[in-house]
Amino acid sequence: MEYSAVKKILQVFTQRNVNLNVRLALFTFFVFVASILWYLNKLTYEYTTQITFPLSIVNMPKGKVLVGDPPKQISLQVRAYGYTLLRYKLGASLLPVVIDLEEAPLFSLNSSQSKQYILTNTLRNTISNQLKGELQLGVIATDTLHFEFTTMQQKKVQVVPQLQYTLERQHMLTGPMVIKPDSITISGPGTLIDTVNSINTISVRLDRLANAYTSSIGLGEIPQVGFSHRRVTLTIPVEKYTEAELSKSLKVINLPDTLRLILLPRTVTLKCNVPISRYKDLFEDDIVMPYVDFRDSYQQSGNKLRIQVETQPYAVRVVDIEPKFVDFIIERI
């Protein structure tokens, strides 16, 4: 009997707790909905706040360049509807405010020609026109922009290729590597370009070249320095070669007029690598000239002279000489 009474009492309290939880959940829900509606209603009102915009500086004064980094940001007080400001506060992209230094009124600081400044209030119309129509410009919080200029100078410097290459087997260079233009004009602050003596190309690696190579290559960057050219043309003449054997008479150089030199033997055999296009020239022209230097006779022990070879650059590559030394006899005339 007592157990039944207790059970009924527990059921009454349980029912009351359920009703209380339901009422509490409903109350919380309606408070949340009311808060959202109140917040959305507030977003339809206009507000004034301060936003920091990125700054873009363009068109330096004629004959001048900036020293160091220009101002990067400008703070503006703007007025707009709440939902518009909320969008920007949540990270909407801001277009930079562009200031043209050729048109902006620049004032000298303490009569200095290098240190100058802009009073941003003089650019109010320019800045206001760049804001989206949903934003109305109020106070420009950044009241002054400071700049330091130096006179633009020019200098001509060589272009240096940053190049690594390998050739395909049985191929050779048939001429020097050519860069056009081989020099450019740079312009910028004198303190910067005075130390610049050459400009490097970007790094290029070429493997197993089997044909002539021509390509446009960019130049490396130098902050605050302008280039007359941003790219150059690089040419590497490459050709397949063939092997050839050639017999040539020895030439004697630096021999006094009062002496005659008898060489034994008088001719030598040369083994060469020659570009296919110049194979005929090897036998018709003097692109390979073996010789001995009489002045070496004062330094050599015995009566032998070392054979040397003079070649036209890139026309042929001598890989072996036979013999490498010759005997000689000196006769007076």
pLDDT-derived band at 252, boundaries 50, 70, 90: very high
User: At 283, which amino acid appears?
Assistant: F
Q: Kindly report, residue by residue over 274-300, the tens digit of the pLDDT.
A: 999 999 888 877 889 999 999 988 876
Q: What's residue 89's pLDDT? A: 67
Question: In percent, how much of the chain has pLDDT > 70?
Answer: 84
Q: What's residue 225's pLDDT? A: 87
- Whether 124 contacts 130, CB under 8 Å: no
Average pLDDT over residues 58-66: 81
Q: What's residue 226's pLDDT? A: 86
Whether the predicted model's global pTM rises above the 0.75 cut: no
Would you say residue 212 has pLDDT above 90? yes
Q: What's residue 84's pLDDT? A: 74
Q: ∠ at Cα 272 (266, 278), nearest 5°?
A: 110
Question: In percent, how much of the chain has pLDDT > 90?
Answer: 48
Would you say residue 11 has pLDDT above 80? no
DSSP 8-class letter at 223? T
Average pLDDT over residues 87-100: 78
Q: What's residue 50's pLDDT? A: 86
- Whether 333 contacts 292, CB under 8 Å: no
String of DSSP letters for 100-151: ETTTS--EESTT-SSEEEEEGGGGHHHHHHHS-TT-EEEEES--EEEEEEEE
Q: What's residue 169's pLDDT? A: 94
More confident site: 141 or 26 = 141
Name the strands in the sheet holding 288-293, side by side, starting at the edge strand that comes first in the sequence. 251-253, 288-293, 308-311
Select the CATH number that applies to the domain covering 152-236 from these four: 2.40.420.20, 1.10.1040.10, 2.170.120.40, 3.60.15.10. Answer: 2.170.120.40
Average pLDDT over residues 230-248: 95
pLDDT-derived band at 43, boundaries 50, 70, 90: low
Two domains, one topology: 152-236 and 241-332 = yes
Would you say residue 17 has pLDDT above 60? no
Q: What's residue 250's pLDDT? A: 95
pLDDT-derived band at 14, boundaries 50, 70, 90: low
pLDDT-derived band at 31, boundaries 50, 70, 90: low
User: At 221, which amino acid appears?
Assistant: E
pLDDT-derived band at 190, boundaries 50, 70, 90: confident
Whole-angstrom CA distances from 76 to 48, 49, 99 are 10, 8, 14
Q: Kindly report, residue by residue over 94-134, the tens digit of the pLDDT.
A: 788 999 988 888 888 887 777 889 999 999 999 999 887 77
Q: Token pair of 4, please? A: 């039944």
Q: What's residue 255's pLDDT? A: 93
Q: Token pair of 216, please? A: 């446009």
pLDDT-derived band at 65, boundaries 50, 70, 90: confident
What are the boundaries of each domain within the chain?
49-142, 152-236, 241-332
Would you say residue 15 has pLDDT above 60? no
Return the CATH fold of 241-332.
Answer: RNA Polymerase Alpha Subunit; Chain A, domain 2 (2.170.120)
Coil, strand or helix: which one is 9?
helix
